[in-house]
Amino acid sequence: MVTHESTFTREGMFNSHNFYVWSEENPHATRTRAAQERFSVNVWAGIVGDHLVLPYLLPEHLTGANNLIFLQQVLLQLLDDAHVSAAIRSSMWF
């Protein structure tokens, strides 16, 4: 199973793990954002074998409780909807 979650904003897709400002002249450089009102959407999607697990809109503020609900309830329904077999599920780690 390959999964990914990402945040999409008015300025585009934002992934904090890959966004760095490298500068020898100013090591404290920041990125200026122009929008007055910020908004974002957190999206999760997955691929299991040849099955696409449809994207799911995550809550705006991700917490441990939200993540637990997603893993125990929502993900199981998404796997059902994607027709992922019980044999494949039994060998998955998540």
46 closest CA partner among 14, 89, 90: 89
The predicted structure's pLDDT at residue 40: 80
Question: What is the C-alpha to C-alpha distance for residues 93 and 71, in angstroms, rounded to an integer?
Answer: 11
Per-residue pLDDT of the chain (94 residues; tens, 9 = 90+): 677 777 777 766 555 555 566 667 776 766 665 656 677 888 999 999 889 998 999 998 889 999 999 999 999 999 999 999 999 988 887 6
Q: Is the pTM of this model over 0.85?
A: no
The predicted structure's pLDDT at residue 65: 95
The predicted structure's pLDDT at residue 7: 77
Question: What is the C-alpha to C-alpha distance for residues 51 and 1, in angstroms, rounded to an integer?
Answer: 9
